[in-house]
Structure 1
């Protein structure tokens, strides 16, 4: 059933019709009476149901169907049936059903009036809200007061070819280059930038002692895009991160990846508190951090005896990719119940130099949990060996191929099959069930093994445009979960799953000491190299030839719920 809602917009009532009304008050009241008497809209599904509007004469329902505002009559414009009705009944106003605009048959044109159009917008808003529909977007139109202010202040600030709006250095507060690189990357994340620049964040915290990191991020964006070129000192933001992530407190060199995950977690928690989401119902967090950075990683464990497949989908904020030959992994995913404890353990193991922050292949938001898997482990050892891969990947795509390749879980990691009801050897494959808007790839360059630590400086190429379609769960072969990934895919899926590179964080030096810099892509598609307070122009070649530690990609096509 289709609910037909006619949103009445009585435009400027023509002089021919209202020639007897001399005052604007009379004109306005006449127009409103026309609305109240003849315009109608549906405010609930139980009101005025109709499958479709049709022309009374020919039964046509195609575009340009008009409804008379003086009686209940529908007529098509192209075949002049509504015109004939106007001549016969002397009804001079009709509304276009598709666009809600008023046609006057006396002057032969569509007519408009700002006051009545505003009334129509309010009516449209009420009707959509009552039906649970999304609100129609109306472009900004300055009010009379705003027009006066604009006329009194004719000088405008415009972005020109020589403008450097959004570019601003950050002062190093003492081994805080890791933080500066992450802040630069977040400040130039397009959709996150648009959110904060549109003043979407409305803090509801009443206690000043509980300062909001989201408010400080909003202030950071205002500072970045204020036009000032003086390096900014992010001391308040650093203090808030220290307050909310104690393991990062201090002036020792920290890991940029660890800081990114900690910052996202604090932002997520503050957004959740602002939106009134309780910890007892973590599944429905719809904060801006989860909307942008959270993806869904699907893990399929297949029993080698009966081919039963156990599937788990977990939320992720980034994907960590191994670079060394072979691939001995620890657990790829953190159960929500142990995420906080694991985070603490990881921190204590990596607080020297620029150490790697995690041995996990995927970083999982600690406050989110999805459906739990229906198998149990027989051994506390959750490691498994990537038997096919005894090589070092040389590109991001190769890393992703190895990440999504079927891997044999060894005899020491048998899984209790829900169908066999016994512990059996199995295979495991990871694929992307849901892609985030911003995908962050963490190249695991810091290796911690028993007795030694080292940095992997292998060059790994990465593209400016990345297609994630081959690594989606939907791209797997349908005949028997054989671990292969379809390489042929439809053009529309390819378009929807394409990403563009917009930030790269690099680490120079050794695992004991080093320095972080980053490349960011500005509003005008120009690349810049950021090194604390220094910013200089760079080329795409310099970006793609850099070592790469954290790679930030933005989705080209956005889906709207």
Structure 2
């Protein structure tokens, strides 16, 4: 983060902060009629006339272009920086990627707060540019106010027969900000009509009628046959199966054919792994020679125990408690001796998990269903969870003083954006309900067909089964 020397020079020597503040305020926030009109008049590619969410503005000469032509412009004109006018991200042509700078992020937050003062934001749906006078063009632009009465992106889902588990997972995935944005851009390309892209876009058409996910359900059935059938399924199991299907689909579309890592979670550049994959470090310490054996594994989610602690019998009462137990050192004992390479014999050891790297989206699975002697039991223990989660205490560098790592202010901060809870006493029965963060500051309860308003206080009181946290501050690479 904050690693682009070209951007630092632009800020210090060329009044880059003032330029960004002006462009972001006018073309990203567009908080006044005058600014919205300025956006309408300019927000099209000056080469191919393309409009939409792929547009960038050059920060040196206020030239507008699509993602392809802005790169051609910055290269030929030797202009280093362009800002996308949908989210305000800055692209450095010399680095060949989007770059992050905390000062720009602070400006964006300040502009957003000023926009919040009017309690609304404006989404402009621009028709393809016509060869008419600008005045006529402005009159042909449809402006849609997104306020508390507008529910673009909120749609109920038809229950196809005990498919509430699927509906909740789909609500969480389609409201994952970075995943949603990816499927709205040109980065995801399929040779044929893409069912996954259609699913995401169907949520944001403005329609209010419930969606029927029969095609999506059939897709999962064909790829994860153990989930086929109309019996109630475990939402967590369905979530992992869905990620696997999306992972394989996106791995193929990267190059048009299955990649060498299509069946692996690690070292894959597809969007699913970029968003959901973190790494878990396991350290086994020999109690005789104190030698350490370390393994690092990729993780899509973290399953956390709710059972009594083996040492004192205490129960966890919060998500942080669960994470403390998950990352605490465990004494394996004499019955679980592990072969030590240094000692060349089996020795008693301790084992400890820590978070080596964190993903963009953290998913926590609270293990509420237990199977003992063919009997199933649900743990309904109340587990408190925060709206803002700091993962710093559970990182490898915090647990291991030998690992050097520099922490930046928002590196490990996460914000809650989706919760799935189970109502009932059995995994084979009961009902799943989800709560979704909407427009950053509102919450909605999604119960199959019914989508209703909710408050953060209500959300934090639910009996959570799956928790979804989005990284508070993204690092662009």
The answer to which of 257-266 and 188-197 deviates more is 188-197
- In structure 2, relative to structure 1, the CA distance for the partners of 1:112 and 1:420 (3 Å cut) is closer
Deviation string, structure 1 residues 177-196 (Cα, Å, up to 9, x no partner): 00000000111111111111
Secondary structure of 2:144 counterpart = coil
Q: Distance in 2 between matches of 1:165 and 1:144?
A: 19
Are 1:228 and 2:207 matched, yes or no? yes
Kept in 1: contact 2:98–2:476 (CA 8 A): no
Kept in 2: contact 1:125–1:135 (CA 8 A): no
Tell me how far 1:418 sits from its aligned partner: 1.6
Aligned residue-pair number: 379
Kept in 2: contact 1:400–1:471 (CA 8 A): yes
- In structure 2, relative to structure 1, the CA distance for the partners of 1:162 and 1:199 (3 Å cut) is farther
Q: Distance in 1 between matches of 2:225 and 2:277?
A: 24
Deviation string, structure 1 residues 320-343 (Cα, Å, up to 9, x no partner): 0010113xxxxxxxxxxxxxxxxx
- Partner of residue 414 from structure 1, selected from 324, 328, 337: 337
- Partner of residue 265 from structure 1, selected from 244, 263, 269: 244
Kept in 2: contact 1:467–1:494 (CA 8 A): no
Q: What does 1:186-201 correspond to in 2, within 5 Å? A: 186-201=173-188
Tell me how far 1:316 sits from its aligned partner: 0.4
Are 1:404 and 2:323 matched, yes or no? no
Tell me how far 1:146 sits from its aligned partner: 2.3
Q: Distance in 1 between matches of 2:272 and 2:260?
A: 16
Are 1:518 and 2:403 matched, yes or no? no
Tell me how far 1:154 sits from its aligned partner: 3.0
Kept in 1: contact 2:332–2:348 (CA 8 A): yes
Are 1:532 and 2:448 matched, yes or no? yes
Are 1:278 and 2:278 matched, yes or no? no
Secondary structure of 1:549 counterpart = strand
Q: Distance in 1 between matches of 2:338 and 2:233?
A: 37
TM-score for both structures, normalised by structure 1: 0.62
Aligned to 1:30: none
Are 1:470 and 2:393 matched, yes or no? yes
Q: Distance in 1 between matches of 2:62 and 2:432?
A: 59
Secondary structure of 2:353 counterpart = strand
Tell me how far 1:132 sits from its aligned partner: 7.6
Q: What does 1:107-186 correspond to in 2, within 5 Å? A: 120-123=73-76, 133-135=95-97, 146=129, 148=131, 150-151=137-138, 153-186=140-173
- Partner of residue 203 from structure 1, selected from 177, 185, 190: 190
Aligned to 2:280: 297
Tell me how far 1:112 sits from its aligned partner: 8.8
Secondary structure of 1:264 counterpart = helix
Q: Pairwise CA RMSD of aligned residues?
A: 3.5
Q: Distance in 2 between matches of 1:144 and 1:528?
A: 31
Q: Can you give the 5+ residue segments of structure 2 that lack an aligned partner in the other structure?
A: 16-57, 82-90, 100-125
The answer to which of 517-526 and 465-474 deviates more is 517-526
Q: Distance in 1 between matches of 2:369 and 2:71?
A: 60
- In structure 2, relative to structure 1, the CA distance for the partners of 1:199 and 1:230 (3 Å cut) is farther
TM-score for both structures, normalised by structure 2: 0.72
- Partner of residue 295 from structure 2, selected from 303, 312, 317: 312
Kept in 1: contact 2:433–2:447 (CA 8 A): yes
Q: Distance in 1 between matches of 2:442 and 2:354?
A: 33
Which of 1 and 2 has greater Rg? Answer: 1
Aligned to 1:363: none
